[in-house]
Amino acid sequence: MENKILQTDLPDVLALAYLGDAIFSHAVRRRLVARGISRNGELTRLSLAYVTAEAQSEGFGLIEPTLSDDEKAVAHRASNSGHLNRPRHASPADYRRATALEALLGMLEVTGQTERLQEILDRLLDGLAHRETALP
């Protein structure tokens, strides 16, 4: 039986997204360094394949069908948050989906679901790796 998470026991979804942003960025950096890439400029360039709102929106689409009801609820609340400060270069739809992804990652961290968090991070990073070839 799935353990239900009380949404009221969680931090605000934007705080979860803040945490999730750091988790995702760290996972990207860890993966790039593990590949043996050591030049700072190359690391920064390659990380852009993953950490933009457009990339994270695509990544959310990759994992969305596998989400539990609790995970969907957090993602939905985050994507509907009215206080999003969207950067000029991101579409509103991409930014909302990226925020949903980040809040989901933050929720998994806060609730101690480390195996699920790692499963999702692996699926995201594997699924977005193709974006590296499209970089200038």
pTM of the model: 0.90
CA distance 66 to 54: 20
Is the predicted pLDDT of residue 6 greater than 70, yes or no?
no
Query: Which pLDDT value is given to residue 2?
Result: 46
21 is catalytic: yes
Architecture of 11-134 per CATH? Answer: Orthogonal Bundle (1.10)
C-alpha closest to that of 52 among 64, 40, 60, 63: 60
Residue 1: pLDDT band (50, 70, 90) is: very low
Read off the DSSP letter of residue 12.
P
**Cα dist from 26 to 20, 38, 47, 82, 136, whole Å:** 10, 15, 10, 27, 23
pLDDT digits (tens, 9 = 90+) for 12-64: 999 999 999 999 999 999 999 999 999 999 999 999 999 999 999 999 999 99
Q: Which of 9, 21, 69, 70 is catalytic?
A: 21
Cβ neighbours for 23, distance < 8 A, ≥ 6 positions apart? 105, 106, 109, 117, 121
Confidence of residue 134 (pLDDT cuts 50, 70, 90): confident
pLDDT digits (tens, 9 = 90+) for 97-126: 999 999 999 999 999 999 999 999 999 999
